[in-house]
Amino acid sequence: MGDDPIVDGLRSRPADERDYDEPLRLPHRSDETAEPVLPMVPSLGVKAGRGRRPQIVSRPPLGAVAIVLLLAVVLALALASGFWARLGAAATPAPELTPTPVPSQALVAFEPTGVVGCPGLDLVWERGSTPPLACEVRGVMPLGFYAATFELDPDFARSPDSTEIHVLVTMRDCHSAPMFGPIAQAVSYRADAVLVTLAIGMGGNDPSIVCIEGARERWTPYAIELSEPLGRRAIYDAEPDPMALIAPAV
């Protein structure tokens, strides 16, 4: 102590004064004067507690509870509907499937170009004109068709009343294309002859039409449909020039 009582009084401190150099600590739970540490939850309000001290009343997060309940209801409804659907399917026998008949293929027609040329040469002219050079003159097919040739099918007879001519068809030339379409026809009529031009479509999938290089061609049965009776007329393959006689008049 010094001689100055005021200075000595300022330097002194009560015995219970906290030394702020000490680390902070939470009050002990037995300390009745300490305020309880409350959880960070929403509050329903404040009411008087023991000893008339305010006490915060907490509640659960109602929004989260509502979402959980809603999801539970939706899940229960989904499971219930699936159960009843399975129960109904098990109780109802499956109907017998009746195969649907495949309709017959419609007649495929095409219009000849009226142009002929030498096979393998980029040289064409109108049908009936004088060839510019000596070669096997053949008809030029419309885009999307291969030339075909045919002969009479010996298993079928024909008569003047026939409206169909049963023939066997093959490709005029062998091609490397792996897929071939349906047979198409173009028919014209003269007083003494029926002129028939047959072709095979490109890009189809008809396994009955096959032509293999160096091997015998496969002949496919086909019925040429006529718009009028055959009568006493000859049948010509009108694809080459001049036209090739297939069968004389009956």
Residues 152 and 221 in one domain: yes
Q: pLDDT: is 57 or 238 the higher one?
A: 238
Contact indicator for 171, 196 with CB cutoff of 8 Å? no
Determine, yes or no, domain membership for 164: yes
Whether residue 237 is predicted with pLDDT greater than 90 in this model: the reply is: yes
Whether residue 210 is predicted with pLDDT greater than 80 in this model: the reply is: no
Residues 76 and 158 in one domain: no
Residues 69 and 147 in one domain: no
Among 88, 104, 122, identify where a domain stops: 88
Determine, yes or no, domain membership for 163: yes
Task: For residue 128, give the 3-state DSSP assignment.
Answer: coil
Residues 73 and 168 in one domain: no
Alpha carbon 152 to its chain's center: 43
* Whole-model pTM over 0.75: no
CA dist 129 and 172 (Å) reads 22
Determine, yes or no, domain membership for 6: no
pLDDT at 201: 84
Q: What is the pLDDT of residues 238-249, one digit of tens each?
A: 999 999 999 999
Contact indicator for 169, 219 with CB cutoff of 8 Å? yes
Q: What is the pLDDT of residues 21-40, one digit of tens each?
A: 555 555 555 545 555 544 44
Residues 65 and 163 in one domain: no
Q: What is the pLDDT of residues 102-154, one digit of tens each?
A: 333 457 888 999 999 998 888 899 998 888 888 899 999 998 888 999 999 99
CA dist 44 and 170 (Å) reads 94
Whether residue 87 is predicted with pLDDT greater than 80 in this model: the reply is: no
pLDDT at 180: 67
Residues 153 and 68 in one domain: no
Residues 145 and 80 in one domain: no
Q: pLDDT: is 1 or 116 the higher one?
A: 116
Determine, yes or no, domain membership for 4: no
Q: What is the pLDDT of residues 152-196, one digit of tens each?
A: 999 999 999 999 999 998 888 765 555 567 889 999 999 999 999
Number of domains the chain is built from:
2
Determine, yes or no, domain membership for 103: no
Among 88, 118, 149, identify where a domain stops: 88
Determine, yes or no, domain membership for 130: no
Residues 80 and 164 in one domain: no
Structure tokens at 138: 């053949």
Q: Which H/E stretch holds residue 11?
A: helix 5-11
Confidence tier at 100 by pLDDT (50, 70, 90): very low
Determine, yes or no, domain membership for 121: no
Determine, yes or no, domain membership for 1: no
Confidence tier at 213 by pLDDT (50, 70, 90): low
Among 88, 105, 124, identify where a domain stops: 88
CA distance readout (Å), 133 to 13, 111, 124: 135, 26, 11
Confidence tier at 59 by pLDDT (50, 70, 90): low
Tell me which residue range forms the domain holding 208: 141-247
